[in-house]
Structure 1
Amino acid sequence: MENVKKSLQLFIEYLQIEKNYSQYTIVHYEQAIEDFILFMNQQLLLHFSDITYSDVRLYLTELYNQQFARRTVARKISSLRSFFQFLLREKLIIDNPFSLVSLPKKDQTIPHFLYKEELEKLFEASDRSTSTGQRDQALLEILYATGIRVSECCQIQLQDIDFSLGTILVHGKGNKQRYVPFGSYADHALHEYISNGRKQLMEKSTLRTNHLFLNFRGGSLTTRGVRHILNNIIKRASSTIHISPHVLRHTFATHLLNEGADMRSVQELLGHKNLSSTQIYTHVTKDHLRYIYMSSHPRA
């Protein structure tokens, strides 16, 4: 299996150097391939060149027997298809057996979002007289004001913020950059946090960083830290709602579309590569319209 591991390492280097994928994305590719290698071991298949279409069909059956969601199966097969295409390009195999497999249709799940009343409870939960409270408020305001991903939020540097224009330079997937505007509430929360709370948090560490959001020790905030902060905000708000950082992104997009924003603009703000990724929010807005109709029409 030495050649198998070497091929995987070559592919990882290709994703890092040529494709410039994020570490998060690369981990998903690597996990999908390693899972398939385990399957190969069970089937006594020693080389990637030994894999046939029949083996791929058998592997698909195993994934379904393990009751993986269709979205998960589609992601695994897509990763393996890309991997085998790379092997084909490098002339390590003579054909790509995964090219014959059609991806299962993904479950059409409607993104969960928050209503304005629910948001207000969250915005009133932080104690802004403390350094962490000012940070939490600024974090919440930025996530809702911009709709950026948590990973993008954790990467924000002080120099990325332009208060005169009210924009943040966001470093997205694949090192793609975009400017995202923010409003007056986020502006006020940022000024308060940077002028006071952030300085107090910085004093707790001997290290110096330009990252905007810091943890209670004065270090850079991680995605896991953001989730912990949001969970604490919910507890303080005495709320029964379920919230994740991505729910704020869903809420941002839904509220914009509900208020008449065009989909292309929302796509650009979210940093979506394809419009189809943004179109899922039209299902949410239709659900919202039905809710308004049913609660407002005299003969609904």
Structure 2
Amino acid sequence: MPGTRRRAGAMAPYIAAIDAKLTALGYTPGTRLGLLKIVGDVGRWLETERLTVADFDESAVASFRAARAREGFTQKLFGRCFTLMFEVLREDGVLAPPPTAVVSPLEALLADYRQWLVHDKDLAAMTVLRYENLARRFLQIGQPAGEVLDTTMLSGAEISAFILAESGRVSLGSARGRVAEMRSLLRYLYLTDRTRWNLAGCVPSVAGWRDAHLPVSLSAGQVEAMVDSCDRSTSTGRRDRAIMLLLARLGLRCIEVARLRLDDVDWRAGELTVRGKARRRDLMPLPVDAGEALVDYLHEGRPASSHREVFITERAPRKPIPADLVGDVVRRAARRANCPDAKAHGLRHALATEMLAKDIPLLDIGQVLRHRDLATTAIYAKVDIDSLRGIAQDWPGQRS
């Protein structure tokens, strides 16, 4: 355990427990030493002020910071350190549980909606955040802070006006997202008896041609360059290469990579269980190079962790990676491979395009990508320009 040269004062009995928590979270010895110095500073401050450890809770942090500032200390104070101190003191029974905060009607409803999105709809964290943000904007229209509009009196006109206002300030794609978010909220309000009727059908659709654009796809060479750009001599590089290969070879989504657990890999059968949308589970073959990259990461790069998720953050506190970190991995690889516009979903498009070029039927491509609707897969037919030229008819009136 890192020691401190100065005595820890009133906090001395709790140093070992706090250090154990820091170690379990993956903090390096140097960082642990710095955080434990803060604990010691708190202990000595308590003695100077003639306070007991039981007096040091969230309300005392500001006084401690002010005292440090008056003494001219410039040491950075880590909020995480105080959080750990409070956890240890409460586990030891020194501090009482924190007072329950007063929750406004708006926050109570949003918390319930959030639980519904997570547990009933199984949406990813970033998707839940977008849905919650729209719900917050809609539910507090014309209301005092913390209050909620009377949803029992909602009308189609109010819903249409809100969607039109939202759509007027965003792109076409984002406007379509607003429609989906609003319909979700209205379904939730109906299911929880907060509206008399299911008003989801009152949300107007956004005008625009469906699938009017060609999907942007990376070439096979660009994909391989991005994979090869990961530095296999570092733990981060090993992790990133395994992530890139799962995206490129299996067309996984970011959230599916983040959700992957150690128990999902059947090494003997060479198969992978993919945890997809809406609690869907799909069994997929594990390509050799992706499997080898996973083995390399698990044996040489993955930090020790009690978490069952495969991919763990490199920095403390060590925890499973979020879905948006998968996107960051792809963006960094894209910059290294001189493909600045590449995104994680582009690897999924690249896989579909490559399969199409090998004359694999769209139905099979849809099964690999785990599309629920073949119409979603059909957009890739548009990238086969040579085949389209062969079936294209002359424009009416055009001479041969």
**TM-score tier (shorter):** 0.7 to 0.9
Kindly indicate whether residue 373 of structure 2 is the aligned counterpart of residue 274 of structure 1: yes
Q: 1:71 aligns with which of 159, 173, 186?
A: 173
Cα drift, residue 124 of structure 1: 2.8
Name the larger-Rg structure: 2
Given that 1:134 and 1:189 are in contact with CA atoms closer than 8 Å, whether structure 2 keeps it comes out as yes
Kindly indicate whether residue 268 of structure 2 is the aligned counterpart of residue 169 of structure 1: no
Q: 1:27 aligns with which of 114, 120, 129?
A: 129
Partner of 2:346: 247
Q: 2:224 aligns with which of 107, 115, 120?
A: 120
Report the CA distance shift for 1:264/1:34 in structure 2 as closer, same or farther (over 3 A). Answer: same
Kindly indicate whether residue 358 of structure 2 is the aligned counterpart of residue 256 of structure 1: no
Say what the alpha-carbon RMSD is for the aligned residues: 3.2
Query: Partner of 1:76: helix, strand, or coil?
Result: helix
Letter in 1 for 2:384: K
Given that 2:123 and 2:277 are in contact with CA atoms closer than 8 Å, whether structure 1 keeps it comes out as yes
Q: Deviations over 1:179-235 (max 9, x none)?
A: 12232322332333333x22xx42xx5x43333223334643333333333333334
Equivalent positions of 1:149-228 (< 5 A) are 149-195=253-299, 197-198=300-301, 201-202=302-303, 207-217=305-315, 219-228=319-328
Cα drift, residue 35 of structure 1: 1.8
Report the CA distance shift for 1:170/1:289 in structure 2 as closer, same or farther (over 3 A). Answer: same
Rounded to whole Å, the distance in 2 between the matches of 1:15 and 1:38 is: 19
Rounded to whole Å, the distance in 1 between the matches of 2:385 and 2:285 is: 27
Letter in 2 for 1:224: D
Query: Partner of 1:277: helix, strand, or coil?
Result: helix
Letter in 1 for 2:307: T
Cα drift, residue 259 of structure 1: 1.5
Cα drift, residue 147 of structure 1: 0.6
Report the CA distance shift for 1:61/1:208 in structure 2 as closer, same or farther (over 3 A). Answer: closer
Rounded to whole Å, the distance in 1 between the matches of 2:355 and 2:230 is: 25
Rounded to whole Å, the distance in 2 between the matches of 1:157 and 1:39 is: 42
Query: Partner of 2:196: helix, strand, or coil?
Result: coil
Q: 1:80 aligns with which of 174, 182, 193?
A: 182
Partner of 2:27: none
Cα drift, residue 60 of structure 1: 3.2
Report the CA distance shift for 1:266/1:77 in structure 2 as closer, same or farther (over 3 A). Answer: same
Report the CA distance shift for 1:41/1:277 in structure 2 as closer, same or farther (over 3 A). Answer: farther
Given that 1:12 and 1:30 are in contact with CA atoms closer than 8 Å, whether structure 2 keeps it comes out as yes
* Comparing 80-89 and 179-188, the one that deviates more: 80-89
Kindly indicate whether residue 201 of structure 2 is the aligned counterpart of residue 99 of structure 1: yes
Partner of 1:236: 336
Q: Deviations over 1:135-170 (max 9, x none)?
A: 332222221111111111122222322233322111
Rounded to whole Å, the distance in 2 between the matches of 1:216 and 1:5 is: 33
Kindly indicate whether residue 208 of structure 2 is the aligned counterpart of residue 110 of structure 1: no
Cα drift, residue 252 of structure 1: 1.5
Cα drift, residue 247 of structure 1: 1.2
Letter in 2 for 1:174: A
Cα drift, residue 22 of structure 1: 4.2
Query: Partner of 1:112: helix, strand, or coil?
Result: coil
Given that 1:3 and 1:47 are in contact with CA atoms closer than 8 Å, whether structure 2 keeps it comes out as no
Cα drift, residue 65 of structure 1: 3.0
Partner of 1:53: 156
Rounded to whole Å, the distance in 1 between the matches of 2:190 and 2:332 is: 49
Report the CA distance shift for 1:51/1:180 in structure 2 as closer, same or farther (over 3 A). Answer: same
Unaligned runs of 5+ in 2: 1-103, 390-400
Query: Partner of 2:359: helix, strand, or coil?
Result: coil
Rounded to whole Å, the distance in 2 between the matches of 1:164 and 1:90 is: 46
Count of aligned pairs between the two proteins: 281
Rounded to whole Å, the distance in 1 between the matches of 2:325 and 2:124 is: 19
Rounded to whole Å, the distance in 1 between the matches of 2:240 and 2:191 is: 48
Report the CA distance shift for 1:117/1:156 in structure 2 as closer, same or farther (over 3 A). Answer: same
Which gives a bigger RCO, structure 1 or 2 (Cα 8 Å, sep 6+)? 1
Report the CA distance shift for 1:114/1:288 in structure 2 as closer, same or farther (over 3 A). Answer: farther
